[in-house]
Amino acid sequence: MIRQYELVERVRKYNPHVDEDLLNRAYVYAMKAHGAQKRASGDPYFSHPLEVAAILTDLKLDDATIVAAMLHDIIEDTATTREEIDHLFGPQIGKLVEGLTKIEKLDLVSKKAAQGENFRKLLLAVAEDVRVLLIKLADRLHNMRTLHFVPTEKRARIAEETLDIYAPLAGRMGMQRLREELEGLAFRHLMPEAYRTIEARLHDLRAKNGRIIKRIEKELAEEFARRDIEAAVSGRQKTPYSVWRKMERKSIAFEQLSDIVGFRIIVGELEDCYRVLGVVHTKWPNVPGRFKDYVSTPKQNDYRSIHTTVIGPGHQRVELQIRTAAMHEIACFGIAAHALYKDSGSVEGKEELAKESSAFRWLQETLELLTHGDSPEEFLEHTRLELFQDQVFCFTPKGGLIALPRGATPIDFAYAVHTKVGNSAVGAKINGRIAPLLSQLQNGDEVEIIRAEGHMPPAAWESLVVTGKAQAAIRRATREAVRRQYAGLGSQIVRRAFERAGRAISDEKLKSALPRLARGSVDDMLAAVGRGEIYSGDVVKAVYPDFREERKPAPKTIEPGEPGWFGVKKSSNLVFKVPGAGDEVDAIPIRGLHGDVPVRFAADGGAVPGDRIVGILTPGEGITIYPIQSPALTAFDDQPDRWLDVRWDLDGDKHELFPARIVATAINEPGTLGALATVVGETGANIDNISFAAHSPDFREMTFDLEVADLKHLNDIIARLRGSPLVSKVERVNG
């Protein structure tokens, strides 16, 4: 366990103005508060927060962060309160400790809603002060370093959540060293055999290639010295996890990897990066397609470096990373390098950090999703999408740079520019040429979005985009469109309810009634009426408490032949009649049947040309024709001998109609049935039967037995009914 004076000296190395008294007081206070508590390893519990603080000294963080690390478990695990910490160490440290206390442990193996909500808490705490994230990552790193002391059944869960969330999050924040260690430790526990195998191969490779690496380092250094370029050259081997991931991604064997060893060249100035690149490409041939300039176009985690691969000494492939010392600092420590000595919890600190750090800006954009009401599961999934994707860099027509996940489309690009641009996108030009909105974007593409005001994104887009921002925006737009539709329907119902009651209606009156209806806005209330969640009479009563409505009992379902049934009525292209359910039908145009066996359509829903159909034989009764999607067929799953392969045999010159059933939920008011019947009649269909059921006081459920020409005809009827302002929902029934 690190000693008190050792911790102070570690901070003093990078911060000569360290508040030694503050660190000493925190050390003593935390040690006394944790008392005799023990870790799974048997060590004093205080060793954990102390080691977390030590990890943060490697990131060169400020005194407040180091103190908060020592105190980060103190509220949760001891009797200490936030007020005590504020009094002893100041409100800034108290706020950091409380932010860490509010974050519960993530459970990424089960209880998806709970884990999503916990991840929200993590990012909301980070929104207050980014140093919360740095302490949380250091906390996780020390827990992973001591994971072998944890009971076996818990190790896989902790390692999995580390690999799923913490390591990618560290990478997104540019903290590559911390990410690599987290990945390596998680990989060791999740796939120990694969880890040992790859580690052994890498060890053999180090022994075999040690001389070659030294030779390449020497030749590069000598070449730069001849050109008067000051550069530090070092070779490094890929980590076991990065090797395994590449083997999995590309489905290749270890022997096929050509870039296990890479070389890093650190120079003093930006111009030297390109001078080194010129020397390398002049001296050795470069490998086509292996050049990336992250200096001119940095990654979203602020990473800047030039990558290239050449055929170097001994005809070896040599992968090179060229960067300045400042770039190297950011590459290793990421956002922690920006956060040095800054109060990122203040408004000024956040603004300054956002200017310097693309990673912090990404974090802020991700947090914006929290304000739009997505479910915890959706938020977690969207954020994980953002964490795991590699990137492509595209440009707007004005030269603006947009970084997107690999596999992104112009739709993702449009939403990355602005939500309004995405919602109104109807087309795209890629590099000046019209292209489908689902085209996959490539590095360097210039994308222009063609817009149409008033356009709303189809719900199907949600499954086609790859960015969490686009998915969330499309889902919100879809929900809003449905909500507006229900609000429009509810507006008609409420207006007519007030007319029937003989009472005046206005927005002001409706607003005054919202508390009694438990709704936040008039639109919310109208949408609830449209969905049948609020009865329109209750809205009238909420506005006029003295209103007394005489509600009539809901009518029962009326069957053919009962009093009140329509009987037989004819008008143009519209026939109401009373058929016998399941009546036999002569000359059904179906192939696959032989002899004089009686044939009928299924009584509940029938079948129409365009449906895939199947015949079910009932000895002594005949054959019943079902559409293949009919749930009734499950009753015959264990009787394969009764199934007959049948298909339609239609005569194109003969106009025939076939039975189908639909259920429509419509506004309960005079004239509704006539309006819907007219819609059906205008399509040339017959209505054989209508029955009713009470859905709610404002709605009636109407079941129509129709005769239609084919599936296209039936779908046309359903579409027209759905377009009626009187209709809430229409569905086909398959018996």
Active site (catalytic) residues = 76-77
Look-up of token digits 């001994």: 314
Residue 687's CB: how many other CB atoms inside 10 A?
19
Q: Which two three-digit tokens encode residue 438?
A: 């689902």
User: Distances from the Cα of 194 to the Cαs of 162, 198, 205, 428, in angstroms?
Assistant: 18, 6, 17, 45
For residue 578, is it left (φ>0), alpha (ψ between -120 and 50) or beta?
Answer: beta
Amino acid in position 175: M
Give Cβ neighbours of residue 610 (< 8 Å, ≥ 6 apart): 710, 711, 712, 714
For residue 280, is it left (φ>0), alpha (ψ between -120 and 50) or beta?
Answer: alpha
Residue 135's CB: how many other CB atoms inside 10 A?
27
Give the angle subtended at the CA of 281 by the CAs of 277 and 284, to the nearest 5°: 135
Give Cβ neighbours of residue 671 (< 8 Å, ≥ 6 apart): none
Cα dihedral 173, 179, 180, 184 in deg (nearest 10): -160
Q: Which two three-digit tokens encode residue 408?
A: 């992104």
The closest of 81, 127, 70 to 103, measured between CA atoms, is 127
Q: Which two three-digit tokens encode residue 180?
A: 């690599």
CB distance 447 to 433 below 8 Å: no
d(CA 360, CA 12) in angstroms, rounded, equals 27
**Sign of the Cα pseudo-torsion (298, 304, 310, 315, in order):** negative
d(CA 108, CA 165) in angstroms, rounded, equals 9
